[in-house]
Amino acid sequence: MISGPDIARDIKSEVAREVEEIVSLKGVRPGLTVILVGQDPASKVYVRNKQMGCDEVGIKSEAIKMPDSISTEDLLKEIDRLNYDGNVHGILVQLPLPGQVDKNRVLESIFPEKDVDGFHPTNMGRLVAQEDCLVPATPSGMIEMLKRKNIGIKGKEVTIVGRSVIVGKPIALLLINESATVTICHTRTRDMAAHTRNAEILIVSAGRPNLIGGDMVSEGAVVLDVGINRINREDADDRLLEWRKDDFDKKGSTLIGDVDFLEVEPKASYITPVPGGVGPMTIAMLLKNTLKAARMQLGVNI
């Protein structure tokens, strides 16, 4: 089992130490500003978790809350102000945004050196060109997991299920840059099982619960499950009701991944659980990106 919380804890302690080194060298505390538009409950939780992570490592955090009626232009003005604020080293706009806001214009307006989400086209382009850049947190977290578990990547057959800009595409680029042989599957893939069975490392980020069964995974594969799916009691089968009985008794629901854990775990050499796998790495790597952004802007090499 690959424990996300354990690895994330190690990364946070490393970040906290480097933050204090920057403070002692430059007299400046790295700062992250998160913009939250509207009242989406899940977004509020994510923003709160990011602020708690900043508090843990000594990064100064600020949340700017804006009404869901905001225009693209007004949001761009706020981002422009933050771009030129020397105390703000990282800017993150919490997604999703309301329909009237042009998401691409918003994300592209953040200075690349402050784009701690790694979604700016300049950072994506640098990732393609194998140049130093800020990389999306979830994909870089998975690479960190593999390396810290001493799981070799070079020359490995890797299959990725899912082609999103947030996970699928950037993790493919990172793995190619690590000299893996990468296959990407998606909704139009004709025989997905043929590709997943060929994988020595399988990464699943499709947003479909239990998409990958035991018959789709080879013996000894490394399986990283990025899916987070909430299943209510009335939608659970008997097997899930028994396995997650405590969750259903306490909350009436449980979280599962895109991989059928009960079927796949016995075959995998390494596997990430859901919850407690890839998820905690996202916050840890966001903090690491904020630290990196501050180092670049302040001219600090540690």
117 catalytically annotated: yes
102 catalytically annotated: no
The CA-to-CA distance between both ends of the chain, in Å, stands at 32
Q: Which of 88, 106, 107 is nearest to 33 (CA)?
A: 88
247 catalytically annotated: no
Catalytic residue among 50, 156, 288, 292: 50
Catalytic residue among 12, 60, 114, 117: 117
Q: Are 266 and 95 in contact (CB under 8 A)?
A: no
Catalytic residue among 60, 94, 115, 260: 94
> Which helix (H) or strand (E) segment is 279 a member of?
helix 279-298
Q: Cis omega (within 30 of 0) on the bond before 98?
A: no
To the nearest 10°, report the CA torsion of 4, 268, 135, 188. -130
Q: Rounded to an integer, what distance in angstroms lies between the CA atom of residue 2 and that of residue 98?
A: 36
Catalytic residues: 50, 94, 117
